[in-house]
Structure 1
């Protein structure tokens, strides 16, 4: 099963006509989409979207870019919203964003909510792999596991995440990097610990606008790098996604 584990269908410009982009992705073979939350203001819209379109599944969380504006009330609301989703996310740490101490506090609080509800995590990690690993260990996040979204770290760190029960989603970073790192990562880890994501409408390899159907380009890229067939990649990454996000096995939420 071809599963997009990270697709912001609620954001402009996808959010203006999600049915158009879902239809195109469906025609390309994509069957499931996880729509992660970034800010409390967007959670209701994500919930409404996922009720409206078959194959779409919500996740609720607060992105590190919003760490400086999040209130205690928002975290109380997240505790109520989180159980309606398939994961808690998108959460994590980002060196480009302000308020690093508040980022870490927010990250920890959201991990604790996920562990209380026994929900996996959708992790955003930009330039802070070591700190992300440390926080996940200290909060015993191996109890729930999850997905390292947009992973572009080292193979050594990847193995540490995998040992904690996480799977990796390299996403469009594979298409944008001109080094051997993605190839080594894919070949060393194998397909059983990898999942796929479009991260639409974030930037694609050669375009500032990404579409959900571009997930098939990622499959072709992985096939070229590893020698696995597209069919093997779709089957094994789909199995990994269903293993870490079992609610995706349902027909619809």
Structure 2
């Protein structure tokens, strides 16, 4: 069985297809999926999706790309995280690719999430783009190794992966790893130990080959796992077994709720 460790099936284009998505997951041997929060106004739809099926979970957090929103507080995140279906804090992190100017607000928001994770004991879901040095630095400064987490939709170098794993983080690969031009990322996928690896779809984005360009869905995480198995020259069952076990090890609350 596979697990989709990161998706956004509360987004309208997927939420209206919930029954179809769940059926496709079952057909493709995808047992569970984590519906990830990107902002607080939409968080009710995230938790409602998680409550709608026993094999769906939720996180709580505000994505670094969201400007001009009410800033999350440690206390607010901790309160929302009391819900038994919430198994992680995030997604959070830094993104210097889409935004310019003084981004100190983004770094402070990141710190708030790390502090909330430490209070709740829940792991972090990290988004980083064009900001790996600051991301690793802040994780270290805030003691994020106390809770660990996952570097979601990983596209960085092997050196960044090593630094994250030293802090207790897992490395999660999305459909990007199946893209023909992702040569460097494919090499990273060969090097990351199976015991530190997760797989995801980031639905509705980043559909893997052979579905690139289509609306992604959790069922297609299987193709990510199959591609990594091909890259490493190992049976796909090894990737499925390891990444599923890693999911429930990292997200311990999911094990209790599953």
TM-score range, shorter chain: over 0.9
**C-alpha separation between the residues in 2 aligned to 1:91 and 1:179?**
24
**C-alpha separation between the residues in 2 aligned to 1:227 and 1:211?**
26
- Cα deviation for residue 68 of structure 1 reads 3.2
**C-alpha separation between the residues in 2 aligned to 1:143 and 1:120?**
9
Which is worse superposed, 74-83 or 134-143?
74-83
**C-alpha separation between the residues in 2 aligned to 1:117 and 1:177?**
40
Tell me whether 1:117 sits opposite 2:120 in the alignment.
yes
Q: Map 1:143-162; keep pairs closer than 5 Å.
A: 143-162=146-165
Which 4+ stretches in 1 moved above 3 angstroms?
none
Gaps of 5+ in 2: none
Q: Map 1:77-226; keep pairs closer than 5 Å.
A: 77-84=76-83, 85-95=86-96, 96-98=98-100, 100-176=103-179, 178-205=181-208, 206-226=212-232
1:33 is paired with a residue whose SS is strand
- Cα deviation for residue 102 of structure 1 reads 0.7
**C-alpha separation between the residues in 1 aligned to 2:82 and 2:111?**
18
TM-score normalised over the length of structure 1:
0.94
- Cα deviation for residue 187 of structure 1 reads 2.2
* 2:69 aligned partner: 69
Deviation track 1:38-91 (CA, whole Å, cap 9, x = no partner) reads: 11111111112111112001100000112432236x654322102321000111
- Cα deviation for residue 32 of structure 1 reads 0.8
- Cα deviation for residue 163 of structure 1 reads 0.7
Tell me whether 1:244 sits opposite 2:250 in the alignment.
yes
- Cα deviation for residue 235 of structure 1 reads 0.3
Contact 2:128/2:135 (CA < 8 Å) preserved in 1?
A: yes
Question: What is the aligned-residue RMSD (CA, Å)?
Answer: 1.6
Q: How many residues are matched? A: 251
TM-score normalised over the length of structure 2:
0.92
- Cα deviation for residue 180 of structure 1 reads 3.1
1:87 is paired with a residue whose SS is strand
* 2:234 aligned partner: 228
Deviation track 1:160-206 (CA, whole Å, cap 9, x = no partner) reads: 10010000002122022524322321222221110010111013242
Greater strand fraction, Structure 1 or Structure 2: 2
Contact 2:173/2:224 (CA < 8 Å) preserved in 1?
A: no
Contact 2:190/2:228 (CA < 8 Å) preserved in 1?
A: no
Tell me whether 1:16 sits opposite 2:21 in the alignment.
no
**C-alpha separation between the residues in 1 aligned to 2:162 and 2:179?**
22
